[in-house]
Amino acid sequence: MFLAAISAAKAQVWERTQADTLSVQVFFGRGSSAIESGFMDNGASIERFFSALDRLSRQPGTQIDSVLIISSSSSPEGNSRLNDRLSDRRARALETLLKEKGLRDVRFIIRSAGEDWERLSLLLKASGIEGSEEAARLIDRTPMFTIRNGRIVGSRKKTLMEYDYGRFWWKMDEKVFPLLRQATVHVFHSTRTGHDGGQEMAPGSIALKPRTALAPERMPQPLVPAEPVGPGISQRARGAGRKPLFAFKTNLLFDAASLVNLGLEVPLGRRFSLAAECYFPWWQNWDKDITIQLLAGDIEGRYWLGDRSRRKPLTGFFVGLYGGAGYFDFQLGKLTDGKGMQGDFFMMGGLSAGYAHSIGRSFRLEYSLGVGYLRCDTREYEVARDTKYGDIKVIQYPWESKRTSGILPTKASVSLVWLLSSRKGGAR
C-alpha cells in the first residue's frame, strides 16, 4: 500500500527531473488529530524536517514537485467508519501545517489508509512479542468480515481480539498500536543544473528518514481498548475481547438421579484450570423406605491439551488430578429389601481425563471419567417401625463397619458448563 502510493506520486512529478524525497513521520494520540510537539518524539522530528526543508529551499535551482501525505493513522480499536474519518483528519492537519509553513503553491496528494492492517501485520512480525507471529497469520488469513446467510457473523477484528483470551490485544495496545497512529509526509523535490535547452538534471541531496521504532520511555501510557465496531455489526456480534472469569457446571448424570450438585471451575492461564464440585441431595421418604442423602465434594486440577491459541477457553481434551471426601446414607426401598447403608466417611483420589466442546457462545458440554483409589467405611441398617421413638434406623449387633478400598472408577460426569467472561471496553 505504501510503496504503491509513493510510486504513483513519483510518476506524477515534473518530467525529465529526477526527484528526491524529504520525509517526516508524525505520531498522534489516541482518538486525536492534533499535532502535538510534546507527544513521543514529534517535536524533534518536525524540527529536523523543517530545518532540512529550509536548507533545501535555499539551494539554487531547487523545486518542490509535490507533497504526498500518507495517513495510516488509526489503530484497530473503535468504530471502523470513525477511524477512517480520523485518519483523513490527521492527514488534513499535516496539510494545514505545511501550508502555514509556506508550502502553499504545491500539489498535495492525500492517501488516507484508515485502519492499516497490512502495516499492523508487518509491525507484529518485527515486534518479537510472544504470540505475534500467530497474530500476524490471523490477520493475513482472516477476511475483514465473515458473512453467513446475509448476516455478518465474524470479523478480522473480532478474531484478533479473542486471540489468547484477549490478553494479546492488551500487549498490542501497549507496544504496537501507538506506532500505527501516525502519518508520513513525503516532499518530492528536484534540482535543475545547466542552461536552458540542454540542461541536465541532478537529484536533490537532502533526505530525512522517518523513525520506525521508539524508546519504551517515549511510548504513551496504555489505555483501555474499545470494542471493535464494524458497519452493520450488531452489538452481540461486536468483537470485544473477552476474558474468561469462571464457569458454573452441573453433572447431568447426577441430576437425572435426583442428586443435586453444583460445580465451579476457574481458568488459570492458557492451559490450567481448577475445578471444585459438591453434591448435596437430602431426600427421605419413610413410607417407602427411601433415603438418598449425600454430602460430598472434590477438587481437581486440570491441564488442557492442544493449541490453546486456537481453542476457546475450557474446550478440548484435558487431563487432571483430583481428590475428594464425604459421607452418605442410601436406602432404596424394595430394591434393597428395606435395608440401607450408611457411609461414615469416604475419601478418594486419582487421575481424570475428558473432553469439552462448545454448544453456544457461553455454554460447554463436558465428558469426563476418573480412576483412582477409594476407601469407604460402611454399615448396614434396617428400619424399626412404631417404636416409642417412632421409625428409627437400627444397626444390628455387632456394630462393625465394613471397609472397602481399592483402585476403581470413582468419577463419571456429563456436565453442562456455563462460562462467564468479562467484556473489555474503553476509549477509541
* DSSP calls for 187-239: EEEEEEES-TTS-EEE------PPP----GGGSPPP-PPPPPB-TT--TTTS-
Q: From first to last of its 428 residues, what are the pLDDT tens digits of the chain?
A: 433 443 443 333 323 333 478 899 999 888 888 999 888 889 999 999 999 888 888 888 788 888 999 886 556 776 777 888 888 889 999 999 998 888 878 889 988 777 778 888 888 888 888 888 998 898 888 888 888 888 888 888 888 888 888 888 888 888 888 888 888 999 888 776 544 444 443 333 333 333 333 333 333 333 333 333 333 333 333 333 467 889 999 999 999 988 899 999 999 988 999 999 999 988 888 777 888 889 999 999 999 998 776 678 899 999 999 999 998 998 887 777 778 888 888 899 999 999 999 998 789 999 999 999 999 988 888 888 777 777 788 887 777 788 889 999 999 999 999 999 875 433 33
Instruction: Please check whether residue 238 is in contact with residue 228, taking contact to mean a CB–CB distance below 8 angstroms.
Output: yes
**Which residue do the cell numbers 483412582 mark?**
372
Three cell numbers, residue 99: 501550508
Three cell numbers, residue 238: 461486536
Instruction: Please check whether residue 122 is in contact with residue 212, taking contact to mean a CB–CB distance below 8 angstroms.
Output: no
Question: pTM here?
Answer: 0.46
Alpha-carbon distances, residue 284 vs 50, 206, 271, 332, 345 (angstroms): 89, 93, 42, 10, 20
Cβ burial 372-403 (10 Å sphere, 16+ → b, else e): bebebbbbebbeeeeeeeeeeeeeeeeeeeee
**Which residue do the cell numbers 505504501 mark?**
2
Is the C-alpha dihedral spanning 176, 112, 31, 166 positive or negative?
Answer: negative
Residue 35 to residue 149: CA distance in whole angstroms: 44
Three cell numbers, residue 150: 446475509
Three cell numbers, residue 53: 526543508
Distance of CA 182 to the CA centre of its chain: 24
